[in-house]
């Protein structure tokens, strides 16, 4: 059992510690990892040509969720700040995009960076405000944000922009003419591209000086402060970055789903992201993809068991998953890999 705790606290140790040069079946760890990456990437690229439009659309959604969960993981997994308010950032991103497309007629692609920047600033300001709060109290403050979001979106004061309770329709731009792709395939690749970019940025960020500062704040804020790290600033910046990810994901979701409404951004969505993050593995970068697929497909899976008790089955499966991997897929995978490596090296 203590090893479980270990994974939970330092699952990321592998990215900071120099790689061991021992070889497994002729390849070093780094080479294995590269091989795995290339294989999964080629799988991801082939996917929309193998499956029909609907399944491609599902994977597109999973990609969008993965971006949001990655943002949450940056905040909670690497920086130790809990957020139950990521549905807000996601919602702001979605509405920014929807309002710009629907009312200002800005090309859809431009609305994505715009949403990202707005959420970055909002996240930074919010992060700066709540910098003194920790643990449950931070959870409450962010939860308040999540509760308030749908109410504010449909409030009569902003109705003229947000469309109030009726929401806004969004028209997704056509596939560039030079490409022989269906709309679903094209948006799948757009999302995949952004996701890869985000994953790459996150990897570099957490291995940088700033990333180490973020992790130090998570592990021991007082020690971090005494080492001269401006903890408030770093925490607020991490909040901003995290918001940027969620905002990007939100904008993509508005475009791909072609509709936004206050009911799409309730606090349930925050729990949804949180579930994805924990199941994927705290502070695990590749884990977010597993987490996103999990939250997207688990309800469908539960539904196949029983319509009447779909929700209860969902609960049972969720609990069972936590039993199977108390520290997420990342913990489970690394445990399996270690075992496997020992076997193979014997």
Pick between residue 130 and residue 199 the one whose CB is nearest to another protein: 130
- The DSSP element (H or E) to which 28 belongs, if any, is strand 27-28
Q: How far is the CB of 126 from another protein (least distance, A)?
A: 10
* Distance in angstroms (rounded) separating the CA atoms of residues 72 and 273: 8
What angle do the packed helices 328-345 and 287-305 form, to 10 degrees?
A: 110
* Distance in angstroms (rounded) separating the CA atoms of residues 167 and 35: 45
Q: How far is the CB of 189 from another protein (least distance, A)?
A: 16
Q: How far is the CB of 343 from another protein (least distance, A)?
A: 26
Q: How far is the CB of 190 from another protein (least distance, A)?
A: 17
Pick between residue 20 and residue 315 the one whose CB is nearest to another protein: 315
* Nearest residue to 284 via CA among 5, 73, 34, 80: 73
Pick between residue 125 and residue 133 the one whose CB is nearest to another protein: 133
* Distance in angstroms (rounded) separating the CA atoms of residues 340 and 70: 28
* Distance in angstroms (rounded) separating the CA atoms of residues 246 and 263: 17
Question: Hey, what are 8's tokens?
Answer: 């939970």
Q: How far is the CB of 21 from another protein (least distance, A)?
A: 31
Pick between residue 231 and residue 321 the one whose CB is nearest to another protein: 321
Q: How far is the CB of 309 from another protein (least distance, A)?
A: 5
Rg (CA), the chain: 20
Pick between residue 165 and residue 196 the one whose CB is nearest to another protein: 165
Q: How far is the CB of 140 from another protein (least distance, A)?
A: 5
* Nearest residue to 202 via CA among 262, 147, 99, 284: 284
Pick between residue 24 and residue 305 the one whose CB is nearest to another protein: 305
* Distance in angstroms (rounded) separating the CA atoms of residues 207 and 150: 36
CB atoms within 10 A of CB 344: 9
Provide DSSP, 281-342: -TT-TTHHHHHHHHHHHHHHHHHHH-STTHHHHHHHHHHHHHHH-TTHHHHHHHHHHHHHHH
């Amino acid at each position: 059992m203590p090893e479980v705790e270990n994974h939970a606290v330092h699952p990321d140790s592998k990215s900071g510690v120099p790689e061991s040069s021992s070889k497994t079946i002729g390849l070093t760890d780094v080479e294995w990892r590269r091989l795995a990456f290339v294989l999964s990437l080629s799988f991801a690229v082939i996917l929309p040509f193998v499956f029909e439009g609907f399944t491609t659309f599902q994977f597109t959604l999973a990609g969008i969720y993965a971006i949001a969960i990655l943002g949450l993981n940056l905040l909670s997994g690497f920086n130790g700040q809990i957020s139950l308010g990521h549905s807000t950032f996601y919602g702001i991103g979605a509405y920014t995009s929807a309002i710009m497309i629907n009312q200002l007629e800005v090309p859809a692609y431009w609305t994505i960076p715009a949403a990202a920047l707005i959420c970055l600033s909002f996240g930074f300001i919010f992060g700066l405000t709540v910098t003194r709060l920790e643990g449950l109290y931070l959870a409450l403050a962010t939860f308040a944000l999540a509760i308030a979001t749908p109410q504010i979106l449909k409030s009569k004061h902003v109705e003229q922009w947000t469309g109030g309770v009726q929401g806004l329709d969004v028209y997704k731009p056509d596939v560039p003419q030079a490409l022989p792709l269906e709309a679903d395939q094209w948006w799948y690749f757009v999302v995949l591209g952004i996701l890869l970019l985000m994953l790459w940025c996150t990897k570099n960020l957490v291995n940088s000086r700033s990333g180490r500062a973020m992790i130090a704040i998570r592990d021991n804020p007082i020690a971090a402060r005494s080492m001269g790290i401006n903890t408030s600033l770093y925490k607020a910046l991490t909040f901003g970055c995290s918001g940027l990810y969620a905002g990007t994901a939100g904008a993509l979701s508005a475009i791909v789903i072609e509709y936004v409404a206050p009911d799409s951004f309730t606090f349930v969505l925050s729990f949804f992201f949180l579930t994805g993050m924990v199941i994927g593995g705290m502070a695990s970068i590749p884990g977010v993809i597993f987490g996103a697929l999990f939250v997207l497909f688990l309800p469908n899976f539960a539904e196949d068991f029983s319509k009447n008790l779909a929700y209860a089955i969902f609960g049972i499966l969720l609990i069972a998953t936590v039993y199977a991997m108390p520290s997420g897929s990342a913990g489970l995978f690394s445990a399996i890999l270690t075992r496997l490596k020992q076997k193979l090296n014997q």
